[in-house]
Amino acid sequence: MGHHADYEAEHTPEAIRKRIESNHSQDYLKDSIYGAIDGAVTTFAVVSSVTGAGLSSGIVIILGLANLLADGFSMAAGNFVGTRAENQSQRKARREEEAEIESNPAGEKEEIRQIYAAKGFEGETLETIVEVITSDKKRWLDTMMQEEHGVSGHNPSALKAGLATFSAFLIIGGIPLVAYVLDLIDPSLIGNPFGSSCVLTGIAFFSIGALKSRYVDQHWTLSGAETLGIGTLAALVAFGIGVLLRPFAEGL
């Protein structure tokens, strides 16, 4: 009974309207989640490799910060450029579609008719749909963009997407370095900075993975465990490489 009530509450007109509106604001949350995952994995991989090589906490911090800033900026820049290019492509397609409506309204109107006829509408119902859509230019354009090009009228900000990625990358990616910073300040605070870093980063991996489950068809525990497993595997590989290269590091 309770489940049925919750289902009905989620499908009231007001709840549906809010859910549709919230979909756009979640774009940047997704950017943050994937930026956080990448930040935690890559920074912890650097920490693991340097620790495996037997280098000091100071070296771990220097290389970790260098990776954090450089890789974080690279990922944010890539997201910015990619989002911007996608927005530009959509605007170009919209301009072309608008020009086609202006130059050949009958042909574009027939496209609308065939699109909805293919959906199963016919007769007066089909003609009413065609008239309603083509009576408003913006609605007509939006429909053509959605049906013909598969895109909505929503264009996320490239700058916000890049900043969301960079911020999450820095914040979560900095977690593996916290124990080493404390160790550098006072070695007596943490006996084994790598062990503390492993615990903190493991918690971060699982938490981010659990949050990621909101956007994938996966239970939060499985998603968290999967992200933790990927991060652990990357750390083990990096640590192993560091151990193999330790003789070269000791000769420096």
**Per-residue pLDDT tens digits for 138-153:** 898 888 888 888 776 6
Q: The pTM is what?
A: 0.72
Q: Which two tokens stand for residue 67?
A: 């990776």
Query: What's the token pair of residue 149?
Result: 């090009």
DSSP state of 214: G
In the prediction, which pLDDT does 234 show?
Answer: 84
**Residue 47 near residue 177, CB atoms below 8 Å:** yes
* Spatial separation of the C-alpha atoms in residues 126 and 172, rounded to whole Å: 52
Tokens standing for 167? 């911020």
For 28, 125, 158, 192, the CA distances from 179, given in Å and listed in that order, are 29, 67, 34, 9
Distances, alpha carbon 175 to alpha carbons 36, 167, 238, in Å: 10, 13, 17
**At CA 45, angle to CA 231 and CA 64, rounded to 5?**
130
Half-sphere exposure of 153 (CA within 13 A, CB side): 8
**Per-residue pLDDT at 7:** 44
Q: State the Cα torsion 177-183-185-189 to the nearest 10°.
A: 130
pLDDT under 70 in the chain at which residues?
1-27, 152-154, 249-252
What pLDDT does residue 74 have? 92
